[in-house]
Amino acid sequence: MATTSNPFEPPRTTDLDGDGSVATGTLVLSEEALQELIAAAPWVRWLTRLMSVSIAVGLVKAVASVVGPGSAKAATLFSVAVGTAISTLILVRLRRYATASERLRASAREAAGQAIAAQASCFRLLGVLAAVGIGLSIVMGIIALVVAGLGAFR
């Protein structure tokens, strides 16, 4: 263990002074973590059904708005198309997660890795979509402020 001449440096311990190398070997999943993954299966199934119903309701609403009177039909169709595409991306990931969770629930312990990977994929997609949505909101807010500012000079 290396000593230093700095009296204000915190003491060094062997469990915190690693060399930064990556641990090797097989990953072990605790029984509690496995039970939590199994308990998530019905919730993920329910969420996939809810997402499917949401997509169907959005499509029916779009058809009703196009058939009915109104002037913003193109904007409505565009927003429904974007919303349906995003929802379908999420639904595909959720179904993969639900399938892996069900396999795990059916006592196939080797499916734990697939369930974790599917869960990570779903969360990663949601994070990317959230970041893009926040970014677009900021850009649209700046554009709205600029347009409002330009309107004040007229």
Task: For the chain, give every domain's residue range.
Answer: 31-131
22 has pLDDT over 60: no
5 has pLDDT over 80: no
125 has pLDDT over 90: yes
Q: What percent of the chain has pLDDT over 90?
A: 36
- Tell me which of 72 and 113 has the higher pLDDT: 113
14 has pLDDT over 70: no
The confidence score (pLDDT) of residue 67 equals 82
Tell me how far CA of residue 69 lies from CA of 16, 17, 64, 74, 94, in angstroms: 68, 70, 9, 13, 36
134 has pLDDT over 70: yes
